[in-house]
Structure 1
């Protein structure tokens, strides 16, 4: 709401601006999002961007965190499900919903953000690789707990199951970016769950 360029720094809503930056990265990817695109969407100058968020790489990491806490929050919620199967079902259903929400970019920021990056996008590529690995590790820990509690069979491989669920979720995101509907993706998720280890 502030129109004056003079005065104290950060005369803008930093959280709202970060939300808009997240949307630009989500829609255009890391390399596709120019500083001009970002500052225009955020309604701030380059100087304000650097002062408030650091460089483009820092802004991307903050936007990714915001995505994880917002549209990507289904992942954390899914891990709280009472059984491992319910956690996997909730994780995949959440992925189907989050990647096809009306008025938001299709797909997943964590998958699309750096699918095709050159050297200038290496930091984003590495950040997203780390982000996806962390998500898979959380799934693995949830499934390890399920084995210890007898919710999954003793011979079940938590690492393999976590990789399976994450791979399906990432595939759903790619399909969503190509125009698949939430209903289409949910059918795929349901089919994937037919391979769940028998109790």
Structure 2
């Protein structure tokens, strides 16, 4: 891996720290502008790295985006562990919705969900990027579904409760909250959507 520290970087700061910092900046750019609209020149300027250094550290633009996406989502194993260890599927799902609402309306980050906004205007040439984000959403939905099924098996939820439908409702709610946040909805309003969505569990 080529050295890419700028001459003005602080002495003693580890290179992996600088790469993490650069990746976070790339994540914010993709989140705000989308995959296709974010140019290499914009990435280079904001990451404080020239193009060859970006390629050496992260690969091409698509590889950089996927690494930024991993940073945004976090490890899916951590989401799975959270769902497994929560007191119930209801509490786990509600917490995921609340945290999503808070994240989508943060003042220090772009609004909405990066999984949706980064590929909203992608062309057919970036179909593989769209497929990747869709697979991540599907995996999260599957993890919620598995947790609901666990509660049905343990008789916390009735057998008539549709794990598939309510897991899909959760992911649809997340996408809807993302759109509202991108449109400028307040955190209070987006959190209300999360709360209202969970009311349907009482009639499942």
Q: Same fold (TM over 0.5)?
A: yes
Match of 1:7 in 2: none
Match of 2:7 in 1: 3
The correspondence of residues 8-157 of structure 1 with structure 2, limited to 5 A, is 13-69=18-74, 79=83, 80-157=85-162
**Match for 2:174 among 150, 169, 176?**
169
Q: Confirm whether residue 183 of structure 1 aligns to residue 179 of structure 2.
A: no
Shift of residue 111 of structure 1? 1.2
**2-side partners of 1:37 and 1:31: how far apart?**
12
Which ranges of 4 or more aligned residues in structure 1 deviate by more than 6 Å?
Answer: none
**2-side partners of 1:108 and 1:73: how far apart?**
20
- Conservation of the 8 A alpha-carbon contact between 2:6 and 2:48: no
Q: Deviations along 1:61-83, whole A, 9 cap, x unmatched?
A: 1000100129x999567524211
Shift of residue 187 of structure 1? 1.1
- Calculate the aligned-residue CA RMSD, in Å: 2.4
**2-side partners of 1:85 and 1:163: how far apart?**
14
Which deviates more from structure 2 when the two are superposed, residues 162-171 or residues 144-153?
144-153
- Conservation of the 8 A alpha-carbon contact between 2:112 and 2:179: yes
**Match for 2:199 among 191, 194, 197?**
194
Shift of residue 102 of structure 1? 1.0
How many residues get paired? Answer: 193
Shift of residue 85 of structure 1? 1.1
Specify every segment of 5 or more residues in structure 2 that has no aligned partner in the other structure, as ranges.
Answer: 9-14
Q: Deviations along 1:115-169, whole A, 9 cap, x unmatched?
A: 1210232222111111111111111111111111111111212111100011001
SS of alignment partner, residue 38 of structure 1: helix
**2-side partners of 1:150 and 1:25: how far apart?**
43
